Chain A
Amino acid sequence: MTDNKLINLVNITKSYGDNVVLDDLNLYIRENEFVTLLGPSGCGKTTTLRIIGGFETPDKGQVIFEGKDITKVPPNERQVNTVFQKYALFNHMTIAENIAFGLKIKKKSKAYIQDKIKYALKLVNLDGFENRMPDSLSGGQQQRIAIARAIVNEPKVLLLDEPLGALDLKLRQDMQYELIRLKNELGITFVYVTHDQEEALTMSDTIVVMNQGYIQQIGTPEEIYNEPKNAFVADFIGESNILPGIMVEDKLVNIFGVNFVCVDTGFGKNKPVDVVIRPEDIDLVKPEEGIIKGVVTSLIFKGVHYEMEVHACDHDWLVHSTDLFPVGTEVGIWVDPFDIQIMNKPESEDEEAVEVEL
């Protein structure tokens, strides 16, 4: 086992009644890493976080923390702290009392606690809020207090359970940068749970994409976005055209009867595959210059770009482009070979999961 594996989840299985939430999950988290567990609701990401925090006990498997098995250790004896989705502040205490809660239980000296409160409030940009009550703070401020309350205990790992879920868009974006800054200043491990792919891409060192209790893919944001391992990941991270294709040979894929040149190899000959093409990777050109021809059927202005649908080969292709093509225009579709991503089809319809080699 390498030294920098701070947390290691080994063969974790958890079910509620008949509902299997996590099925034989293996995952390790390195020291000083910003790891995001990303997936739709019910994918098991929050359960995973709660198992690390100690609020849930896995049915099978082990939680290893710094080489020690802590599967059965109660949450109050773990060196991790959690920031909860709905802040979970103690409404009957002042902000200072909230932040001091963990330190008082650890019987730290008064002077130490005072210093820590000051330091933590400064860190989350809320100096002078000591004597306010949680009720009198906005959602964003409450969430910062929740973070301050957790970090004064100097945890080795900070667990964050969709902490920005309840905030509005602008505040959420600001808080994303704050969290990155905090992580760098504190130099501790963050394990972050979210269903928001943009949040995950912005903040993470490593993203763990989960679905239906399985890990779909682990990788850096770039890897996850540019090289999704399967249709689920491609669909969940950003928008994409997921098309059925047949791998004719190495570097050649047939989509809707038309051959596209790609860069992928090693899939075998005439094998059915899923093809992912990001909408921003499709170039609209003159009809005769494209690989296939189509007609623009819808056009929406999105701010940075136009979102268009092009009907070609009996399929609606989603296209993002800064160039405007009015509805009804005949266009050609061109895709650069390296923008075509080929993936193995899941072995059966209901088994979307893939084994992930760490």
Chain B
Amino acid sequence: MKLRNVLKTRTPKSPVHKSASGPNMPKAKWLSFPYIVWMIGFIIIPLVVIFYYGLTTSDSTFTLNNIALVMDPINLKALKQALELSLVSTVICLLLAYPLAMILNKSKMNSNSFIVMIIILPMWMNFLLRTIAWQNILEKTGIINTILNFFKLPTVNIINTPAAIILGMVYNFLPFMVLPIYNVLIKIDQDVINAARDLGANGMQTFLKIILPLSLPGVISGITMVFVPSLTTFVISTILGGNKIVLIGNVIEQQFRVGNWHAGSGLSLVLMIFILISMAILSKYDKEGSSLW
């Protein structure tokens, strides 16, 4: 749900808009009908429901208590931890993805699509399966420690630590950072880079003054696409964090699981505010407002 929200706010010049204002307007409008139904049924109504539950008590009176729940020390700690871990994951993703996207862009051969496929390939496997696989690798008696044992080396304790969760986030969300950056990089005209070189810029100056600023929309898309799901995840933290590390996503999931929809919705609203703030900050750096993919 939140992802859809992101998609909507970040693509103001979407094709749907364009065709709606085109010459074949009546036909285009008719075509957008299923999309409108979809938006109402799966975005707007759920949002309204969340707002309703988040701002009421079980006997339907207005309250801010559900939102105030975030001030509870345990919840506050979960939120803080979620923010920290998703921030670190996003930064690591960015540091890994940017050079990777540049390498992809440089290799102008036909193997290009092959390399892209290798990055996308893990996405074809179920997200849960991938994460559980990491659990098996990292466990106390898992693959890594078995190998270390075999060589009589000291074992490592990664599972159920923040590091394991960061690893899970980076592994699962890295493609979402690589692809938007790659996508803006391939669109940069080689002659624009040549022009910078021609005007006296060396490789580093060209990167800092031309390539980096021009790729910023992709970077921002990537950050959003990694940061938002990382902040809200509860699957990765459950599987790779055991019960030792509780993120805000886990807290919300727990609330819904025990049937307390009001508390769960209230905390979701708080999380939504954080996402909106982060997106507002990002959009300041994104003049173009384009190219999510």
Contact = CB atoms under 8 A, between A and B. Distances in A.
Pairing of A with B: yes
A77 B199 CA distance: 9
Most buried by A among B192, B195, B200, B214: B195
A88 B201 contact: no
Interface stretch (A78-86, A213-221, A235-243, A264-272): A78-86
Contact size class for A? 20 to 34
Interface stretch (A13-21, A101-109, A340-348): A101-109
A102 B200 contact: yes
Given A84-B191, A90-B192, A92-B287, A75 B198 contact: yes
B111 interface: no
B214 A75 contact: no
Contacts of A74: 197, 202
B200 A76 contact: yes
Contacts of A150: 198-199
**Which residue, of A55, A85, A92, A149, has the highest number of chain B Cβ atoms within 10 A?**
A92
**Which of B194, B198, B213: most chain A CB closer than 10 A?**
B198
Contact of B189 (A54, A88, A92): A88
Interface in A58-103: 74-77, 80-82, 84-86, 88-92, 101-102
Interface string B185-208: 000010110111111111001000
Contacts of A92: 213-214, 287
B144 interface: no
B58 to A, nearest CB: 53
A350 to B, nearest CB: 30
Contacts of A90: 192, 195-196, 210, 214
Nearest to B287: A92
B262 to A, nearest CB: 47
A9 B45 CA distance: 71
Given A82-B194, A84-B191, A76 B214 contact: no
A176 interface: no
A163 to B, nearest CB: 12
A101 B191 contact: no
Contacts of B196: 90, 101
Interface of B, helix, strand, loop or mixed by DSSP? helix
B215 to A, nearest CB: 10
A134 to B, nearest CB: 11
Contact of B198 (A81, A85, A86): A81
A254 interface: no
A55 B199 CA distance: 12
| Candidate in B201, B214, B287 with the most chain A CB atoms within 10 angstroms | B201
Nearest to B209: A101
A86 B194 CA distance: 12
Contacts of B209: 101
A84 B200 contact: no
B176 to A, nearest CB: 24
Contact of B200 (A55, A88, A105): A105
Contact of B195 (A54, A77, A84): A84
A151 to B, nearest CB: 11
Interface in B73-106: none
A76 B201 contact: yes
A55 B243 CA distance: 58
A73 to B, nearest CB: 12
A76 B210 CA distance: 14
A99 to B, nearest CB: 10
A173 interface: no
Nearest to B199: A102
A88 B199 contact: no
A197 interface: no
A90 B206 CA distance: 11
A129 B197 CA distance: 24
Contacts of A146: 195
Contacts of B213: 92
Contacts of A81: 198-199
Contacts of A80: 198
Contact of A82 (B189, B195, B287): B195
A53 interface: yes
A286 B238 CA distance: 101
A160 to B, nearest CB: 12
B151 to A, nearest CB: 48
A75 B197 contact: yes
Contacts of B195: 82, 84, 88-90, 146, 149
A92 B214 CA distance: 7
Contacts of A77: 200
Nearest to A104: B209
Interface string A116-132: 00000000000000000
Interface string A31-62: 00000000000000000000001110000000
A259 interface: no
Contact of A76 (B189, B192, B197): B197
Contacts of B199: 76, 81, 101-102, 105, 149-150, 153
B194 A76 contact: no
> Which 6 residue pairs of A and B lie closest in terms of their CB atoms, listed nearest first?
A102-B199, A88-B191, A88-B195, A75-B197, A84-B191, A105-B200
Given A76-B199, A77-B200, 14 more contacts: A54-B198, A55-B194, A76-B202, A82-B194, A82-B195, A88-B191, A90-B192, A90-B210, A90-B214, A101-B209, A105-B199, A105-B200, A146-B195, A150-B198
25 contacts: A74-B197, A75-B198, A76-B197, A76-B198, A76-B199, A76-B201, A77-B200, A81-B199, A84-B191, A84-B195, A85-B191, A86-B191, A88-B192, A90-B196, A92-B287, A101-B199, A102-B199, A102-B200, A105-B199, A105-B200, A105-B201, A106-B200, A149-B195, A149-B199, A150-B199
